[in-house]
Structure 1
């Protein structure tokens, strides 16, 4: 959706730009292809697509209520008590470490 609209003379393979920050992708593409849009328009296409994707995204089953709309700002928020349990930021030997929600 983004590349066909942005690249005038070809359809680059996704693997060609995989791993490149989207803000740097335009520079790579413009060095190798004729672009149909300006850098600013390209970034707007990416940001618009990302916003659409995030609006349609759903939590993975079992992830609880931690989401950008859960109303919790994290463990250091005075109105939100910390979430307790195991997680990626918890020491393996400490099952009661504080986790940050959202």
Structure 2
């Protein structure tokens, strides 16, 4: 299978520009990039007024096995349970493979 680009677009429960917002984004970068198989990790800011989702995490996995390993990795599971669930107000998740 081809590489998978995993994308999550979300809005935090924290006020925009707050220390809590910055702390979450910094922690996410540190935690998620420590997981084997994560490549090309990026945090992006939404600029379109058409969406109230304000941030994007994007990362690439070499294949489905790497993506599954990430989802099941204890570090990822703990981050979702300890931070994501309580600090993210809304999100959409997208996973893409490139067409030939």
Range into which the TM-score falls when normalised by the shorter chain: under 0.3
TM-score when normalising by structure 2: 0.24
By relative contact order (CA 8 Å, sep 6+), the higher-ranking structure is 2
Higher strand proportion (structure 1 or 2):
2
Larger Rg: 1
TM-score when normalising by structure 1: 0.24
